[in-house]
Amino acid sequence: MADVPTLVEQARQGRPRAVARLISLVEGASPQLREVMAALAPLAGGAYVVGVTGSPGVGKSTSTSALVSAYRRAGKRVGVLAVDPSSPFSGGALLGDRVRMSEHASDPGVYIRSMATRGHLGGLAWAAPQAIRVLDAAGCDVILVETVGVGQSEVEIAAQADTSVLLLAPGMGDGIQAAKAGILEIGDVYVVNKADREGADATARELNHMLGLGESRSPGDWRPPIVKTVAARGEGIEEVVEALEKHRAWMEEHGVLAERRMRRAAGEVETIAVTALRERIGDLHGDRRLGALAERVVAGGLDPYTAADELVAAVTEQG
Ligand SMILES: Nc1nc2c(ncn2[C@@H]2O[C@H](COP(=O)(O)OP(=O)(O)O)[C@@H](O)[C@H]2O)c(=O)[nH]1
Ligand SMILES: [Mg+2]
């Protein structure tokens, strides 16, 4: 068994091995998960969480690495969480990302962690926030969460972040296609990366047009900016940081940050509760209580809704 109070103390002092150990405990759903989360609860809440999403190859890892450099220059401690929701293995697609992050590997002010979430009970919504909390409690000022993969997982990750950055690149028509499919709505800041390639201006214009289409903003509303970058050369990255800071200030001014964090915590509690409830009900298979209820439903003595109410009552009573 791990000595959780000592690990937490060491993590607060910024010891990378303690941080890594705590993340392993929470992502592996260890029996000590609850002890870890209880110990971290009063320590977390200081970090600014930025989600970095976009199609594979668009430059997320390169941009994340450049953002780490920019925040480090500003003296911030930075956590990076690379999440692969499609794979049960930490490795694979994330290996290339490790290479792109390698310049930060020896920096004690940077924590880099990959996690695969497919095999996880409750999936991404369950696993990522726990790791974010560890990095937060360890004193990270900024946590960058990069997802590998597309689709629903990106939307889920965006829901975990205070600010979502959506990356597009010219010549990747799928970028705008994905955008049309609804991912467009999740961006607080848009980045057209690979601006050294032909078509970056056209992509930015098209994006600007699309963002304008759904516009029914009132004064004071956030208008997502579009920043052009060449992440591979670090160009435009300071502008991205500025856009992030502006969004954060806007959220604080309008109570949006608190609102998002409330919604996030509510979702997290709900996910954990539903997962626990489902587990308990699953435990009832083969239990005579479920069989007894089923018999009464078959005999017409009980309707399935009342039976379900009784089942829920039974599993919540057992404490
Ligand atoms: N030309 C160009 N290539 C870039 C730029 N940024 C990243 N790349 C390259 O695009 C490829 C994919 O980048 P990566 O960061 O791994 O994308 P990810 O899959 O979204 O994380 C790599 O070969 C990068 O070197 C850029 O601004 N311009
Ligand atoms: Mg990547």
User: What does the DSSP assignment read for the chain?
Assistant: ---HHHHHHHHHTT-HHHHHHHHHHHHTT-TTHHHHHHHHTTT-S-PEEEEEEESTTSSHHHHHHHHHHHHHHTT--EEEEEEETT-SSSSTHHHHHHHHHGGGTT-TTEEEEEEE-TTSTTHHHHHHHHHHHHHHHTT-SEEEEEEPS-THHHHHHHHH-SEEEEEE-TT-HHHHHHHHTTGGGG-SEEEE--TTSTTHHHHHHHHHHHHHHT----TT-----EEE-BGGGTBTHHHHHHHHHHHHHHHHHTTHHHHHHHHHHHHHHHHHHHHHHHHHHHHTTT-HHHHHHHHHHHTTSS-HHHHHHHHHHHHHHT-
> What distance in angstroms lies between residue 62's CA and the mean position of ligand 1's atoms?
6
Residue 53 phi, psi dihedral angles, 5° rounding: -130, 165
> What distance in angstroms lies between residue 256's CA and the mean position of ligand 1's atoms?
32
Pocket probe for ligand 1: among 53, 60, 62, the residue whose CB has the most ligand atoms within 8 Å is 62
Q: What is the end-to-end Cα distance of the chain in Å, rounded? A: 25
Q: Which atom of ligand 1 is nearest to the CA of 233?
A: 27
Domains of the chain: 44-254 (3.40.50.300), 268-317 (no CATH)
Q: Which atom of ligand 1 is nearest to the CA of 235?
A: 27
21-25, 77-81, 218-222: lowest mean pLDDT where?
218-222
pLDDT at 108: 85
Nearest CA to ligand 1 atom 19: 57
The pocket around ligand 1, CB under 6 angstroms, is made up of 54, 56-62, 96, 100, 193-194, 196-197, 230-232
> What distance in angstroms lies between residue 157's CA and the mean position of ligand 1's atoms?
21
pTM: 0.87
Q: What is the mean pLDDT of the chain?
A: 84
Q: What is the pLDDT of residues 191-248, one digit of tens each?
A: 999 999 999 999 899 888 888 766 666 777 899 999 999 999 999 999 999 999 999 9
Q: Is the pLDDT of residue 45 over 70?
A: yes
Q: What is the pLDDT of residues 111-138, one digit of tens each?
A: 988 876 655 544 555 678 888 999 999 9
Q: Which atom of ligand 1 is nearest to the CA of 230?
A: 27
23-32, 148-157, 249-258, 259-268: lowest mean pLDDT where?
148-157
The angle formed by the CA atoms of residues 95, 14 and 83, to the nearest 5 degrees, is: 30
> What distance in angstroms lies between residue 234's CA and the mean position of ligand 1's atoms?
11
Q: Is the pLDDT of residue 280 over 90?
A: no
State the average pLDDT over residues 35-56.
Answer: 91
Nearest CA to ligand 1 atom 10: 59
pLDDT at 82: 86
Q: Which atom of ligand 1 is nearest to the CA of 58?
A: 20
Judge whether 124 and 153 are in contact, CB under 8 Å.
Answer: yes
86-100, 203-217, 233-247, 270-284: lowest mean pLDDT where?
86-100
State the average pLDDT over residues 304-311.
Answer: 94
pLDDT at 91: 46
pLDDT at 33: 86
Q: Is the pLDDT of residue 37 over 80?
A: yes
> What distance in angstroms lies between residue 43's CA and the mean position of ligand 2's atoms?
29
